[in-house]
Amino acid sequence: MSKKLYIETYGCQMNFSDSEIIASVMSGDEYELTESMEDAHVILVNTCAIRENAERRVFGRIQEFRRVKRKNPDTVIGVVGCMAERLKEDIFREYQEVDLIAGPDSYRHLPEMLDGIREGQQMANVILSREETYDNIEPVRLDSKGISAFISIMRGCDNYCSYCVVPYTRGRERSRNPETIKEEAHRLFEQGYREITLLGQNVNSYKWQTNSELIDFPDLLKQISAVNPKLRLRFATSNPKDLSDKLIQTIAYTPNIANAIHLPVQSGSTEVLNRMNRKYTRAWYLNRIESIKKHIPDAGITTDIIAGFCRETEEDHKQTLSLMRTVDYDFAFMFKYSERPGTIAAKRFKDDIPDDVKSRRLQEIISLQQRLSEQSNKRDLNKTFTILVEGPSKKDIKKMRGRNEQNKVVVFPGTKDLKGQYVKVKVTDYTSATLLGVKQDS
Ligand code: SAH
Ligand code: SF4
Ligand code: F3S
Q: Where are the domains of the chain?
A: 3-125, 148-379, 384-439
Question: Does any ligand 2 atom lie closer than 6 A to the CB of residue 48?
Answer: no
Task: Report pLDDT for 424.
Answer: 98
Q: Is 189 exposed, middle or buried (0-12, 13-18, 19+ CB in 10 A)?
A: middle
Counting atoms of ligand 3 from 1, which one is nearest the CA of 49?
4
Residues paired with residue 430 on neighbouring β-strands, in sequence order? 435
Integer Cα distance of 383 and 403 in angstroms: 14
Question: Does any ligand 3 atom lie closer than 6 A to the CB of residue 170?
Answer: yes
Number of other CB atoms surrounding residue 173 within 10 Å: 19
CATH class of the region 3-125: alpha beta
The rounded Å distance from CA 157 to ligand 2 centre is 6
For β-strands 422-430 and 409-413, DSSP reports them as: unpaired
Q: For ligand 1, atom 24, which residue shows the shortest CA distance?
A: 337
* 180-208 residue pLDDT tens: 999 999 999 999 999 999 999 999 999 99
Task: Report pLDDT for 402.
Answer: 97
Integer Cα distance of 138 and 152 in angstroms: 11
CATH architecture of 148-379: Alpha-Beta Horseshoe (3.80)
Whether the CB-CB separation of 194 and 230 falls below 8 Å is answered with yes
Phi-psi region of 277 (alpha: psi -120 to 50; beta: other; left: phi over 0): left
Integer Cα distance of 266 and 306 in angstroms: 5
Integer Cα distance of 180 and 152 in angstroms: 11
Angle between helices 245-253 and 217-225 (to 10 degrees): 10
Q: For ligand 3, atom 5, which residue shows the shortest CA distance?
A: 12
Question: Does any ligand 3 atom lie closer than 6 A to the CB of residue 12?
Answer: yes
Integer Cα distance of 425 and 411 in angstroms: 9
Task: Report pLDDT for 442.
Answer: 67
Question: Does any ligand 3 atom lie closer than 6 A to the CB of residue 345?
Answer: no
In sign, the C-alpha dihedral spanning 261, 181, 34, 79 is negative
Sheet containing 232-236: order of strands: 148-152, 195-199, 232-236
Q: For ligand 2, atom 5, which residue shows the shortest CA distance?
A: 159
What type of residue sits at position 291?
S
The CATH number given to 384-439 is 2.40.50.110
Integer Cα distance of 28 and 24 in angstroms: 7
Question: Does any ligand 3 atom lie closer than 6 A to the CB of residue 37?
Answer: no
Question: Does any ligand 2 atom lie closer than 6 A to the CB of residue 160?
Answer: yes
Residues of the chain with confidence (pLDDT) below 50: none
The rounded Å distance from CA 202 to ligand 1 centre is 12
Integer Cα distance of 64 and 37 in angstroms: 10
The rounded Å distance from CA 50 to ligand 1 centre is 7
Integer Cα distance of 349 and 125 in angstroms: 32
The rounded Å distance from CA 368 to ligand 3 centre is 27
Counting atoms of ligand 2 from 1, which one is nearest the CA of 239?
5
Angle at 281 between CA 221 and CA 200, to 5 degrees: 30
Sheet containing 42-47: order of strands: 31-33, 3-9, 42-47, 76-81, 100-102, 123-125
* 34-84 residue pLDDT tens: 999 999 999 999 999 999 999 999 999 999 999 999 999 999 999 999 999
Question: Does any ligand 2 atom lie closer than 6 A to the CB of residue 268?
Answer: no
Pocket test for ligand 3, best of 8, 9, 10, 12 (most atoms within 8 A of CB): 12
Question: Does any ligand 2 atom lie closer than 6 A to the CB of residue 273?
Answer: no
Question: Does any ligand 3 atom lie closer than 6 A to the CB of residue 50?
Answer: yes
In sign, the C-alpha dihedral spanning 334, 337, 343, 345 is positive
Whether the CB-CB separation of 99 and 123 falls below 8 Å is answered with yes
What type of residue sits at position 127?
I
pTM of the model: 0.96
Question: Does any ligand 3 atom lie closer than 6 A to the CB of residue 11?
Answer: yes
Q: For ligand 2, atom 1, which residue shows the shortest CA distance?
A: 164
Whether the CB-CB separation of 102 and 76 falls below 8 Å is answered with no
Question: Does any ligand 1 atom lie closer than 6 A to the CB of residue 266?
Answer: yes
For β-strands 422-430 and 434-439, DSSP reports them as: antiparallel
